[in-house]
Structure 1
Amino acid sequence: MKLKLTSLFAAPLSVLLVAGGASAQSEQDYGPNPDLPEPQRGLLPDMTVPEPAEWGDQLPIVPDGYTITAIATDLQIPRQTLVLPNGDILVAEGSGGNAPKLKPKDFIAGYIKSQGTTAVESGNRLTLLRDENGDGNYEQSVFADDLNAPYGLALIDNNLYVANQDAVVRFDYEEGQTEASGPPEEVTQLPSEINHHWTKAMTASADGRFLFVGIGSNSNITERGMAAEVNRAEVWQIDPGSGAHRPYATGLRNPTALAIQPETDQLWAVVNERDELGPNLVPDYLTTVQQGGFYGWPYSYWGQHVDSRVRPQKPDKVESAIVPDYSLGSHVAPLGLAFSTPEMGDDFAEGVFIGEHGSWNRNDPVGYKVVFVPFSNGEPDGNPIDFVTGFLNGDDQTRGRPVGVTIDPDGALIIADDLTNAVWRVTYEGDE
C-alpha cells in the first residue's frame, strides 16, 4: 500500500490540498524541451511514499540478455560506490542532515518521507567489496569507519578522497589495500550548518588536478533566508593539494551526482529541483556543468521560468540562467550518474545510467528505478529507457531505492540500494 497525506487528516483539511491536473508523467516530460505546466500551489503538496516491502525470492527486473545479482547485503545505508583499479568496490554508507523543521508541513513531509526509508542505523563507514576468486561472490570488510555521513568518493593516484557531509578528507591508498592505514586527513571543510541537503557528491577532473563537489541548498526555495544559502546550491572546484576552492557553477538546487564524460572530459551532473509547484513541476535534470554557469535556483527554473515565491527577484540572474540539457521528469530524485561503456551491449553502449531514488511529493510515485539516457554525438538523444525496474511492486510498495551507479572494469553496472541495504551488479550476457 502507499502511505498518503490524506490518510493523516480529516476531509476539511484535504480540500485545501493542491487540486486537479493529471499527475501521470508522459514522454513530453522528458528531454531537452519538456512541457512545463502552470505552477500549482496549495496549503500542502501531494505526498505519497510507497511502504517498504521484502524481495522474497524475487529480483529487480533487467532487460533480456542481462543478469542482476546482489553482491553485498546487510549494509548500513549504502549511497555511492567507487570501483578501484583492481576491481575492488568501495561503498559509502551513511545518512546525514538534521535540519530543524520550520512549519507544520515540514513535520508532515518528514514523517511521510521516513515511511519509505530503512530503519537501519547510518553506517558512517566505507565497506570494501572484493571478488577474491573471480567466482562472482564478493567478500565484505570495513575499509574505514567513524566517518560523518560519507557520500562522494574519488581516487587520484594514491589518494582516496571522501566527501563527508562536513568536509572532504583524504586517505592514503595502495592498490589491493583492504583497510585504511590510519585516520583521514582533512582537505577542506564543506558547508554543513543546517544541512537541509546534506549529500556531497564528488568526482575528480579528468586530469586529476581538481575535485568537483556538489553542495545542495539549505531549503526548498529560500525559506530560511538567503543568508543560509551562502556557498550553497553550487558545484565547487577544489585543489586537493591545498584545499583551496571556488564556485565552479551556481544555481543548482541539489547536485546529487557528478561524472566526467570520457570522450570530452566534460563535467555532468544530475540535479534535484524544487518542490511544491505541483506533481509535474519542476523537472529534475541531467546537464553539463559549465564553468561560471548559473542554473537558475532560486530565482527561476528551466532557464527563464520565474519562481514567484522568491522575493526579491533578480531579473538579471534570471536572464543569465542556463537551460539544463535534459529533463528526467519531475520528482524522480536522481541520485546516481555513470557513463556507459561498450561492454554493456549495443543498446546501452553510449549514454548514461541514472539511479532514480523515487518521489515523495506526488500521488502517483515516479522514479524508483535505474534508467538509461541514450547519447548521440556526445549529447542526450531520445527518451530515457527503463533499465532496472521492479523496485515498485504491484501493491504500491517499494522493495528498494536506487542511489549511486557506476561501471566496473568488466563493464558491469554497480547499483547501491539504500532501502534493501544492498549493492546490485548487472552484467551483459549477450543475446540469446
Structure 2
Amino acid sequence: MRPITTSLVGLSALVSGLVSAQSSSCGPAPSNGIRPSIASGYTYQVVATGLAKPRGLILDQQGNLLVVEADRGVISSHEIVEQNGCVSIGRSSDITDQLELNHGIELSADGRTLYGSSADNLYSWTYDGAARSTSDQTIHINNMTGTDHSTRTLLLSQQEPGMIVVSKGSLSNIDILATDITSGSSQVKAFNLTNSTSPYDYNAEGLVLGWGLRNEVGIGEHPNSGGIWGVENSADQMNRMGVDIHEDNPAEKLNFLGYLNGTASENQGGNFGYPWCFAAWEVEDLPDNGNLSVGSQFAIDASSASNNENRTDEFCAEQVAPRLVFQAHMAPMDIKFNNSGREAWVTFRGSWNRDEPVGYKMSVVAFTEGGEPVADRDSMTAATDIFANEDLSRCPGNCMRLVGMAIDPQGRIYVASDASGEIYLVSRTDNSGTPAGSPTSSASASASATGNAGHSLHPPTSGDSLGLFASLLGLLLCWL
C-alpha cells in the first residue's frame, strides 16, 4: 500500500487539475496544446477547429453558426449538431464570395438579410437560412478604406430597425487625421438603411455617435435602454513628459455613445479625446499625476503624437470620458449583452506591447437593468474573468485569442479564437456540473458594486477546493 502522504500529494494535484480543467467531455481537445481555464460554475467545449482566422459570429434563425473567416475573406455557414449536451459542427459551406470580409457581421431581425464588411465596403445579401445561401449582393456604404486598423464592426439596431452602426478605427497608432471630424477616421457612425438609394460615403455621411475613438472594435446595444456601448483599443508605445509609460498605460475603454431612439445624451456625437488624450490605468506610473485618477484622461507628449498642439490634462478633462476602463493592452474585441441587460460580455484578444502578457480571455461586466455599469468609473475590478488561458506565458503563440461572440437562445456563448482557428462554447452549469440554460442575470444580480462577486477564476475558493478534496479523500481512504 502506498504511503498516505504520497497519496495525498497526488490527490492534491488531482484536485487542482480537476478544478483547473472543468471542461466538457464533448468535442476535440483545444489545438496546439492550448490550456483554457474556466471559472467555477461554467464549462466549455471546443465546437470547431481548423477555421481561417474566425472573427465575427452570428446565429441565424435555423440555428446555423455564421462565421467571418478573415484569412479567406468569406462568411461560412456551419450546421450546429447537438446530442446529449454535446455541440458539434455538421455540414459547412461558404455562403459569400471572397470579398476580403474581415470582421463585421449582422443579420436582420427577420433573418432574411445578411450584412458583412470589408475594410472598404458594407455589403448585404438576401439570405436563405434553410438553404444556407445568399443572393442579390448590394453595397450600402463605401469609402471606408484605411491603413492599420482595417476592421469595420457592424451593429444592426434592435431598438431602431433599419439603423446600422459602423466603426472605423485610426490609420496608425497615433493618427492626427482623427482630429478632423470630417475625415471619418477614428469614429463610430450610424446609417439608415431603409431609405438609402445609393451607397453612403462613410467619411462624408452618417450620424456621428462619437469621434476621437482610436479603435472601437466592439459595439453593443443595451436591450432595455437602447444605449450604444463600445470597447476601445488604446494606443501603444507611449511616453509622457519624456517617461516611457507604455507598460501599464493607457487604459482600454468602455465608452457610452448615446442612443439611436431619440433619447438625449451629452456623450452622443462628442469628442472622446484621441489622439491627444488617453485614460489612466496605473496612475502612479504617470509623471505629474496630481489631478489624475483611474479612468481620467491625460495628455501625452508632443513627441508621441507628432504634434499635440500643447494640449493639456485640463483640455483632456473636458473631452468625453470613458464610463469604465480595463487594464492596458488587453485589446477588447467584442461586447454582447445578455437578454436581461444585466451582463455585458467582453472578449480581450490580448497584448503584444507589454513585457508580461495580459488579456487573452472573456470576461463579464455587471450592468443595472436600466443600462448602466454597476461599478464606479474608477474601478479596476469591473470585469470578472470567466474564460481564459491558464498560462499566459505561452501567449500569444500557444493560446486562445478571443474575438467575436454569439449568444444562443439558451444563453450559451459561442466565442471565436482567431489565432487558433477555433470556436468554443461556454455554458453555465447547475450544481451537478450539467450545462444549465442561460448565463443571464443570476451572476450580475449577486455581483458586488465592483462586479467581482459571483464568479471565481482559478485559483478557486477554499470552500470549492476543500469540498472536492474531501470527496476525493473519502474515495481514496476507501481504496486504501
**TM-score, with structure 1 as normaliser:** 0.73
Q: Aligned residues, how many? A: 345
Q: Compute the displacement of 1:380 (Å).
A: 2.0
For 1:150, the equivalent position in structure 2 comes to: 102
SS in 1 for 2:426: strand
1:18-66 deviations in whole A, cap 9, x for unaligned? xxxxxxxxxxxxxxxxxxxxxxxxxxxxxxxxxxxx7467652222332
Q: Aligned runs of 1:7-86 on 2, under 5 Å?
A: 55=31, 60-86=36-62
For 2:76, the equivalent position in structure 1 comes to: 127
Distance in structure 1 (CA, Å) of the matches to 2:354 and 2:102: 29
Distance 1:188 1:69, change over 3 A: same
The question of whether the paired residues in 2 share the 8 Å contact of 1:401 and 1:419 is answered with yes
Q: Percent identity?
A: 24
Distance 1:352 1:223, change over 3 A: same
> Which letter maps to 2:117?
A
For 1:360, the equivalent position in structure 2 comes to: 352
> Which letter maps to 1:333?
A
1:175-194 deviations in whole A, cap 9, x for unaligned? 42412235x2111104214x
Distance in structure 2 (CA, Å) of the matches to 1:247 and 1:225: 13
> Which letter maps to 1:129?
H
The question of whether the paired residues in 2 share the 8 Å contact of 1:369 and 1:391 is answered with no
Distance in structure 2 (CA, Å) of the matches to 1:222 and 1:389: 32
Distance in structure 2 (CA, Å) of the matches to 1:325 and 1:265: 16
Distance in structure 1 (CA, Å) of the matches to 2:406 and 2:133: 21
1:105-140 deviations in whole A, cap 9, x for unaligned? xxxxxxxxxxxxxxxxx1111111222566622222
For 2:364, the equivalent position in structure 1 comes to: 372
SS in 2 for 1:137: strand
For 1:253, the equivalent position in structure 2 comes to: 214
Distance in structure 2 (CA, Å) of the matches to 1:363 and 1:296: 27
Q: Aligned runs of 1:226-305 on 2, under 5 Å?
A: 230-241=183-194, 242=196, 243-244=199-200, 245-277=206-238, 278-290=246-258, 291-302=268-279, 304-305=297-298
SS in 2 for 1:131: strand
1:49-84 deviations in whole A, cap 9, x for unaligned? xxxxx7467652222332211211111000111122
> Larger relative CO (CA 8 A, sep 6+): 1 or 2?
1
For 2:320, the equivalent position in structure 1 comes to: 322
Is 2:374 the counterpart of 1:381? yes
The question of whether the paired residues in 2 share the 8 Å contact of 1:217 and 1:229 is answered with no
The question of whether the paired residues in 2 share the 8 Å contact of 1:75 and 1:422 is answered with yes
Distance 1:313 1:60, change over 3 A: same
For 1:186, the equivalent position in structure 2 comes to: 139
**Bigger mean CA deviation after superposition, 331-340 or 308-317:** 308-317
Is 2:133 the counterpart of 1:141? no
Distance in structure 1 (CA, Å) of the matches to 2:179 and 2:117: 24
What are the ranges of 5 or more consecutive residues in structure 1 without an aligned counterpart?
A: 1-53, 95-121, 343-348
What are the ranges of 5 or more consecutive residues in structure 2 without an aligned counterpart?
A: 1-29, 201-205, 239-245, 259-267, 280-295, 376-380, 433-480
> Which letter maps to 1:128?
S
**TM-score, with structure 2 as normaliser:** 0.66
Distance 1:227 1:264, change over 3 A: closer
The question of whether the paired residues in 2 share the 8 Å contact of 1:151 and 1:200 is answered with yes
Distance in structure 2 (CA, Å) of the matches to 1:305 and 1:211: 32
**Cα RMSD (Å) of the superposition?**
2.7
Structure with larger Rg: 2
SS in 1 for 2:229: strand
For 2:463, the equivalent position in structure 1 comes to: none
Q: Compute the displacement of 1:282 (Å).
A: 0.7
Higher helix proportion (structure 1 or 2) = 2
1:246-276 deviations in whole A, cap 9, x for unaligned? 3221011000011111111111111001111
SS in 1 for 2:335: strand
